[in-house]
Amino acid sequence: MPAPLLSLDAPLLLQQIDALGRIGQDAPESGRTRIALTDADRAGRDQLVKWMRALDLDVQVDRIGNLFGTLPGRADGPPLMIGSHIDTVRHAGALDGCYGVLAGLAVQRAYRQAGQMPQRGIVVAAFTNEEGVRFQPDMMGSLVHAGGLALQQALDTVGTDGVRLGDALAQIGYAGTLEPGTIRPQAYLELHIEQGPVLEAEGTLIGVVEDLQGISWQKVSVQGVANHAGTTPTRLRHDAAYAAAACICFLREQVAAAPPGTTLATTGSLRLEPDLVNVIARQATFTVDLRDPDAQRLQAAEQRFAGFLEALALREGVQIRTEQLVRFDPVVFDATLASRIEAAAARRGLSHRRMTSGAGHDAQMIARIAPAAMIFVPSRGGISHNPREHTDETQLIQGAEVLLDVVQACLATP
Amino acid sequence: MPAPLLSLDAPLLLQQIDALGRIGQDAPESGRTRIALTDADRAGRDQLVKWMRALDLDVQVDRIGNLFGTLPGRADGPPLMIGSHIDTVRHAGALDGCYGVLAGLAVQRAYRQAGQMPQRGIVVAAFTNEEGVRFQPDMMGSLVHAGGLALQQALDTVGTDGVRLGDALAQIGYAGTLEPGTIRPQAYLELHIEQGPVLEAEGTLIGVVEDLQGISWQKVSVQGVANHAGTTPTRLRHDAAYAAAACICFLREQVAAAPPGTTLATTGSLRLEPDLVNVIARQATFTVDLRDPDAQRLQAAEQRFAGFLEALALREGVQIRTEQLVRFDPVVFDATLASRIEAAAARRGLSHRRMTSGAGHDAQMIARIAPAAMIFVPSRGGISHNPREHTDETQLIQGAEVLLDVVQACLATP
């Protein structure tokens, strides 16, 4: 006899997204802040574990703090994994990461409520420190899980606040015992808001993410000479603040000229020393975030910037040091999974398009050890990492339903 | 019978400069930090008062904390004032301000050691908060003394650390009772290191400062939209960090084109919000320091910048607010005093040149209520507001001797 039809408990999913979003909330209208391995992150994790237990899942925590909730399957063998993260940036929206994790629970709940056992186990994963705000690199938990970063090295990472990651993890009580990478999925799916404007702009409902752009993060330190702002002729200055500004303007020129959907450049963090109105800056430290779906183009952009720095240092008589904080080549996702997502969206009559992920996601790490793909839903105004991040509830539900369908399709195949 | 010849106690002057420079000292090679109305400033003031009492001066403190040490004269009538400041920037040199105050004491000491009483009183003034690091505007004490800023308004100023100036002043025990402006000098002299490279570059020993350039300090706040660095197409960004960088580059272009000795532009302070590597900056707050000896040119530079901000706000879709922190028109010093300085330098056979002061000084405030002028000595490398600030001891002595001669010349005339 055919298995009873699975259906999603939409109200409960929305309820949980809302409830998780209230944890670590900032001032009204200022979103929430649950930076990795802080007390707020702990509170979020505690809530998630509670919900996992309510579904009677087998809850496991590994040594880097990745959280797994497994719904057992009829057959053994590698489970299907649905994952994302619940840590946030400062003043974040409620959806980034959390939506994917809670939609995973909703899928497991659909089986529970139908009294049905999946053909194989379904694991929902919440990976540690995806945002990389306090500890770098970002996507750290999934990277360790995939074997791309040694556990000890990750635990020894020192945060922007000088705290060692391993200590912070123990501090919030999520230093588990499971060896990272133990759970090797048969396939990995991640549902996420687009965090970009493409789907909304086109009026498309489902993004079939077939690849993910490469990311290069550099920290640039400019050493100039502090001097009096009123007496130092322009030609005799070694102004670290100007040098930093020149870099930002150069990068903007470069990407303004680049075709849409190619290179992006951002300087989001910049600090001056001594940071006084009437003193020429002795030092400027800033970050450069370069992204491109094409590996060659990304490298070329990095090289052009390096060349500019060299010329600038000579011209301004400053010393410039760069440090690579993060570097990930572009990732191509699994073609079969992508077509399954496409098919599921089509069956439900939802408009869809193939697309590239502009953001980094845990999926790109898990793609190293298992077939992986992502499902996107629209982000209003393309706004994310911001309290104004928003996706309509219907769209959130539609995305979760596509995920449910794809999960069933995956489990139906041996 | 002729008064015995006055001579300067050079070793003691150098000793006092060194001793004051040790108060508030930072890590080795990092200079000293005695920001106005901090405990370090208090310690510096205590030392200065001790030295004034050792000269048996009449020590007075006014309600804004200006410190006066008066050597009585034979005749009544307005005294001659020698002044500067002993507060510092962060990681400062030992000379800026302190040299002028301590040279004033050296002049008074010359009279004491000769057992001679000056024709009229000689007041040495150490003005409160000349640097304007913690409380703005800078040159505040002399500005209040000259009636350019209401006492109450000055006392109510809130510092960068949120502390009210009046409270900080009481806290360090220098909230005096004398009404600001009570001591109205017959003339004002200020001896200072150049804080610029001109004298050293020319091999000239004495700068006869006949005017001082105008200063305009603005705080610029750019309101953009925080957004995801990897998913927001360049054309859809409202990037506060880029807008700030574009301003800094614009200002550099402007002054690079300006003739030497005219407009200078500096951005010494810049902060981003949320200041994260992968988030487009929602807000940038930075300072603009514009200076020019010519009032019209200064105003024109301000206007060109305002025009640029308007166009930039439109182009980038950001909101830009500016706030004038400080604005002083250029000052022309007293011609008679300038010639006396010139004559004194000539008599001692010291090379000298007329020049403009690039930095703001208390002298420009006192010039509102009395004839004023300044004497400059070379600064090695033109470096100031920096631990590497340096002037050769011989030059420090030569400058103080010129000051002594000019004081005698001033007192010789009714």
Please tell me the predicted confidence (pLDDT) of residue B5. Answer: 76
Residue A141 structure tokens: 């938990």
User: How would residue B414 be classed by pLDDT, with cut points 50, 70 and 90?
Assistant: low
Greater model confidence, A347 or B358 = A347
Segment B164-190, tens digit of pLDDT: 999 999 999 999 999 999 999 999 999
Rounded to the nearest angstrom, the minimum Cα separation between A381 and chain B is: 10
Helices (H), B258-360: 295-316, 335-347
Using a CB–CB cutoff of 8 Å, tell me whether B38 touches chain A. no
pLDDT for residue B156 is more than 90: yes
Assess whether A204 and A312 both reside in one domain. Answer: no
CB contact under 8 A, B359 and A90: no
CB contact under 8 A, A281 and B274: no
Summarize the confidence of residues B376-383 as an average pLDDT: 92
Using a CB–CB cutoff of 8 Å, tell me whether A230 touches chain B. yes
Degrees, nearest 5: CA angle A346-A347-A349 = 60
pLDDT for residue B216 is more than 90: yes
Segment A253-263, tens digit of pLDDT: 999 988 888 99
Segment A44-80, tens digit of pLDDT: 999 999 999 999 999 999 999 999 999 999 998 999 9
Please tell me the predicted confidence (pLDDT) of residue A401. Answer: 97
Flag whether A4 is in a domain. no
Using a CB–CB cutoff of 8 Å, tell me whether A225 touches chain B. yes
Flag whether A3 is in a domain. no
- Cβ neighbours, 10 Å, residue A325: 17
pLDDT for residue B84 is more than 80: yes
CB contact under 8 A, B230 and A264: yes
Flag whether B249 is in a domain. yes
> Which residues from B are below 8 Å from A234, CB to CB?
252, 255-256, 258, 264-265
Please tell me the predicted confidence (pLDDT) of residue A204. Answer: 97
Please tell me the predicted confidence (pLDDT) of residue A231. Answer: 84
Please tell me the predicted confidence (pLDDT) of residue A273. Answer: 96
Flag whether A2 is in a domain. no
> Which residues from B are below 8 Å from A261, CB to CB?
233
> Which residues from A are below 8 Å from B383, CB to CB?
225, 227-228
User: How would residue A414 be classed by pLDDT, with cut points 50, 70 and 90?
Assistant: low
CA nearest A316 in B: which residue?
Answer: B252
pTM exceeding the 0.80 threshold for the entire prediction: no
Please tell me the predicted confidence (pLDDT) of residue A68. Answer: 98
Please tell me the predicted confidence (pLDDT) of residue B383. Answer: 84
CB contact under 8 A, B277 and A242: no
pLDDT for residue A392 is more than 90: yes
CATH code (residue B15): 3.40.630.10
Assess whether A33 and A134 both reside in one domain. Answer: yes
Who among A236, A266, A357 is closest to B197 (CB)? A236
Q: Please name which of B293, B270, B276 lies closest in space to residue B360, comparing C-alpha atoms.
A: B293
CA nearest A244 in B: which residue?
Answer: B245
Full domain range(s) for residue A115: 10-212+330-411
**H or E element that contains B270:** strand B270-273
Using a CB–CB cutoff of 8 Å, tell me whether A196 touches chain B. yes
Rounded to the nearest angstrom, the minimum Cα separation between B15 and chain A is: 26
Helix axes A295-316, A240-257, angle to 10 degrees: 150
Flag whether B284 is in a domain. yes
Summarize the confidence of residues B228-256 as an average pLDDT: 95
A117-146 residues touching B, CB cutoff 8 A:
131-133, 138
> Which residues from B are below 8 Å from A266, CB to CB?
229, 239, 241, 278, 280
pLDDT for residue A3 is more than 60: no
pLDDT for residue B85 is more than 90: yes
CB contact under 8 A, A252 and B272: no
Picking from B328, B363, B398, the residue at the C-terminal end of a domain is: B328
Using a CB–CB cutoff of 8 Å, tell me whether A249 touches chain B. yes
User: How would residue A362 be classed by pLDDT, with cut points 50, 70 and 90?
Assistant: very high
Who among A215, A287, A385 is closest to B227 (CB)? A385
State how beta strands B372-377 and A187-193 pair: unpaired
Rounded to the nearest angstrom, the minimum Cα separation between A255 and chain B is: 7
Query: Which of B32, B198, B215, B279 to mutate to test binding with chain A, by most A CBs within 10 Å of its CB?
Result: B279
CB contact under 8 A, B249 and A242: yes
CB contact under 8 A, B90 and A239: no
Summarize the confidence of residues B346-369 as an average pLDDT: 95
Decide: A92 and A33 in contact? Cβ < 8 Å.
Answer: yes
pLDDT for residue A1 is more than 50: no
Please tell me the predicted confidence (pLDDT) of residue B373. Answer: 97
Please tell me the predicted confidence (pLDDT) of residue A413. Answer: 80
Share of chain B above pLDDT 90, in %: 88
Please tell me the predicted confidence (pLDDT) of residue B16. Answer: 98
Assess whether A322 and A334 both reside in one domain. Answer: no
Greater model confidence, A177 or A383 = A177
Share of chain A above pLDDT 90, in %: 88
- Measure the CA–CA gap between B1 and A256, rounded to whole angstroms: 83
Tell the burial category of B77 from Cβ atoms under 10 Å away from its Cβ (0-12, 13-18, 19+).
Answer: exposed
Assess whether A114 and A204 both reside in one domain. Answer: yes
Please tell me the predicted confidence (pLDDT) of residue B196. Answer: 84
Using a CB–CB cutoff of 8 Å, tell me whether B361 touches chain A. no
User: How would residue B386 be classed by pLDDT, with cut points 50, 70 and 90?
Assistant: confident
Which residues sit opposite B122 in a β-bridge? B71, B80
Segment A221-242, tens digit of pLDDT: 999 999 889 888 899 899 999 9
- Cβ neighbours, 10 Å, residue B397: 18
Number of structural domains found in chain A: 2
pLDDT for residue B1 is more than 50: no
Flag whether A5 is in a domain. no
> Which residues from A are below 8 Å from B268, CB to CB?
229, 241, 272, 274-281
Flag whether B2 is in a domain. no
Please tell me the predicted confidence (pLDDT) of residue B2. Answer: 45
Q: Please name which of B378, B38, B330, B36 lies closest in space to residue B207, comparing C-alpha atoms.
A: B378
CATH code (residue B244): 3.30.70.360
Who among A89, A230, A260 is closest to B360 (CB)? A230
> Which residues from A are below 8 Å from B271, CB to CB?
271, 275
- Measure the CA–CA gap between B94 and B82, rounded to whole angstroms: 19
- Measure the CA–CA gap between B117 and A404, rounded to whole angstroms: 98
Picking from A296, A328, A360, the residue at the C-terminal end of a domain is: A328
- Measure the CA–CA gap between B15 and B21, rounded to whole angstroms: 10
Using a CB–CB cutoff of 8 Å, tell me whether A322 touches chain B. no
Query: Which of A279, A285, A289 to mutate to test binding with chain B, by most B CBs within 10 Å of its CB?
Result: A279
A272-301 residues touching B, CB cutoff 8 A:
272, 274-282, 287, 289, 291
Assess whether B198 and B344 both reside in one domain. Answer: yes
Summarize the confidence of residues B30-46 as an average pLDDT: 97
> Which residues from B are below 8 Å from A195, CB to CB?
228, 230-231
Assess whether A253 and A278 both reside in one domain. Answer: yes
Please tell me the predicted confidence (pLDDT) of residue B328. Answer: 86
Assess whether B106 and B150 both reside in one domain. Answer: yes
Q: Which residues contact B299 (CB under 8 A, 6 or more apart)?
A: none
CB contact under 8 A, B232 and A277: no
- Measure the CA–CA gap between B411 and B413, rounded to whole angstroms: 5
pLDDT for residue A2 is more than 60: no
How far CA B264 is from CA of A31, A202, A232, B293, B376, in Å, comes to: 42, 49, 8, 10, 20
Picking from B311, B328, B345, the residue at the C-terminal end of a domain is: B328
pLDDT for residue A354 is more than 90: yes
Flag whether B126 is in a domain. yes
Assess whether B122 and B38 both reside in one domain. Answer: yes
Assess whether B306 and B399 both reside in one domain. Answer: no
Long-range contacts of A150-155 (CB under 8 A, 24+ apart): A151/A63, A151/A64, A151/A180, A154/A64, A155/A63, A155/A64
> Which residues from A are below 8 Å from B327, CB to CB?
none
Using a CB–CB cutoff of 8 Å, tell me whether A269 touches chain B. yes
Using a CB–CB cutoff of 8 Å, tell me whether B115 touches chain A. no
CB contact under 8 A, A266 and B289: no
Please tell me the predicted confidence (pLDDT) of residue B325. Answer: 86
Assess whether A203 and A220 both reside in one domain. Answer: no
CA nearest B243 in A: which residue?
Answer: A249
Decide: A289 and B277 in contact? Cβ < 8 Å.
Answer: yes
Mean pLDDT for chain A overall: 95
Residue owning tokens 């599921």: A344
- Any idea which of B54-58, B257-261, B361-365 has the lowest mean pLDDT? B257-261
Chain A to chain B, count of Cβ pairs less than 8 Å apart? 244
CA nearest B96 in A: which residue?
Answer: A228
Assess whether B205 and B342 both reside in one domain. Answer: yes
Assess whether B256 and B396 both reside in one domain. Answer: no
pLDDT for residue B226 is more than 50: yes
Mean pLDDT for chain B overall: 95
Summarize the confidence of residues B295-317 as an average pLDDT: 97
Residue owning tokens 């998780």: A20
> Which residues from B are below 8 Å from A231, CB to CB?
194-197, 357-359, 382, 384
